[in-house]
Chains A and B, each alone.
Chain A
């Protein structure tokens, strides 16, 4: 299995809703990432997990709450979002123990397209 699977593919939510995005991989990768991509812009890094621990938070607002319950699964919990949070949310995974570490390659999912009304 060489894929990163993201669900749901599309999500529409109101500003008072609580929802979650899910990401799963079975490649044995121990680093997992969340990116946000607005239309016609490059992906922007949000969070990085390494060995199920949060290693990077790119100053993301607390209405986005990541969770890595095990080495195969990454969630992004959403609460009290704003319309400007509408975007494509991309999950990725990579090895972390390949040396030198710059040679690690990310595998991306197809993304979850979020619309906040």
Chain B
């Protein structure tokens, strides 16, 4: 399975944008880039996914590099409820394996 690399932790002030980076230099052509987050004491929650083009939804935006070897999850205005572990995952779906990496723990402060 292709690997992703994320910073262990990041901090943000509330109401400010947050950019969470992810490197995936061994991504294959069929891999989608998925982001999930896990709030304390909850199961993971889908955030966003994309293949080549940048994507927006109500939760976040996903910016994908032109060579697809890196991506950035953008939370436009962080709130205290966004404090979670954010996982960047490559998923081809062909074997139905969605494999989690170590993730980035986001701390949001007032």
Contacts and interface: CB of A to CB of B under 8 A. Distances in A.
Interface string B54-79: 00000000000000000000000000
A66 interface: no
B46 A42 contact: no
Interface residues of B, number: 27
A56 B96 contact: yes
B100 A44 contact: yes
A50 B96 contact: yes
A105 B95 contact: no
B10 interface: no
A44 B30 CA distance: 22
A108 B97 CA distance: 14
Interface residues of A, number: 27
Chain B residues touching A, majority SS: loop
Contacts of A55: 95-96
Given A31-B96, A43-B100, A56-B96, A102 B32 contact: yes
Contact of B87 (A42, A44, A90): A42
Interface string A87-117: 0001010101000111111111111000000
Contact of B30 (A102, A104, A110): A102
Contact of B101 (A4, A42, A92): A42
Given A102-B32, A108-B43, A42 B92 contact: no
Interface of A: 4, 31, 33, 42-45, 48, 50, 55-56, 90, 92, 94, 96, 100-111
Given A50-B96, A100-B93, A106-B44, 9 more contacts: A42-B85, A94-B96, A101-B92, A102-B31, A102-B93, A103-B32, A105-B46, A106-B36, A109-B43
